[in-house]
Amino acid sequence: MPLDRRSFVLGLGGAALAPGLAWSQDWTPPPPDRELRVPVRGGSIYVRVNGDLAGPRAPVVFAHGGPGSNHAYFLGALKMAGERAVVLYDQLDAGLSDRPNDPANWTVERYVSEVDAIRAALDLRRLHLVGHSWGSTIALDYAARQPGGLLSATLGSPLISTKSWERSTTAQLAKLPPDIQRVVNAHEAAGTTDSPEYARAMETFYAAYLSRGPRADYVLAYRDGLVRKTNGRVYLGMWGPGEIRATGLLKSYDGEPLLPRIAAPTLVVTGEYDEMTADVLRPLAARIPKAELKVIPGAGHALPSTHPDAYVALVRAHLARNDGI
């Protein structure tokens, strides 16, 4: 891939702060209180914990997107560590976890099983589960199993099905200039997504719907300190060369039948300019028995790191309402 789209988006961090976009500049994320390697099928994964796992409020586990991204963009959630334990982790073949790069591991079921592995390692009898993007696929599938002790789920900018995702992204593409649409559609149809012309056109799409402004400074600083950041190989294999259409193993993914089976109270959150738009999400969220949909103004798909204060405020309130204490 000539364009590692996640590297491109992270590179936007030096851009000027957009009007109305703000985060707490006087805050530095704390180092982990605990780090561990958790054995999973295919290898071991990196897990970090901040806060008291035995505290009165149930811990919250965050599943990152990608596939192949890492936990860095959830750093803002560590502001909750004074009230509950916050567990961040890197999925297999991502971030600081093992990277066997074996396509046999690239299944929804195997990634979902990592949540149970983390629960066992940390003895999490109660928990909240938060996913973002592809991580919401993990959270959706896990919640639909109605596991004991799951107090709530959060589906951020979710991949619920590839067909609904593409319905949203192609509609967003159609709002861009005709020449951008032509280049993207032509190269994706021809399979020539390694073209520099395609990469330039996709930069326009990502600037409009993925980033919508720079990452918080602390996210960029932490990410730059990571020895291993993203894994384009697993992203390409599971999804494809770009966000708009899937060509990889998730091309036929459909989690929509799982929606009515989610018993836990569920927060569905998206950005005003997200790749997964509120109008596409609304009828999907309505199929979850106890769900509410929230939209973060001005945000795109990367909202946990571009709009961390607004994002964390929504998640924090949702968790507090569903702690059961």
By annotation, the residues acting in catalysis are 133, 274, 301
H/E segment holding residue 284 = helix 278-285
**DSSP line for 114-174:** HHHHHHHHHT-SSEEEEEETHHHHHHHHHHHT--TTEEEEEEES--SBHHHHHHHHHHHHT
**What's the one-letter identity of residue 259?**
L
Distance CA 43, CA 24 (A): 37
Q: Which DSSP category does 241 fall into?
A: S
CA distance linking residue 170 with residue 243, whole number of Å: 10
d(CA 51, CA 20): 31
Asked if residues 321 and 290 have their Cβ atoms less than 8 Å apart, the reply is no
Whole-number Å distance between alpha carbons of 116 and 101: 22
- Strand-pair category, 266-271 with 86-89: unpaired
Q: Tell me how many helices (H) and strands (E) the chain has.
A: 11, 8
Say what angle helices 278-285 and 162-173 make with each other, to 10 degrees. Answer: 160
Q: How far is CA 149 from the centre of its chain?
A: 22
Displacement of CA 204 from its chain's centroid (Å): 21
63 neighbors 135 (Cβ within 8 angstroms):
yes
Structure tokens given for 162: 């590839």
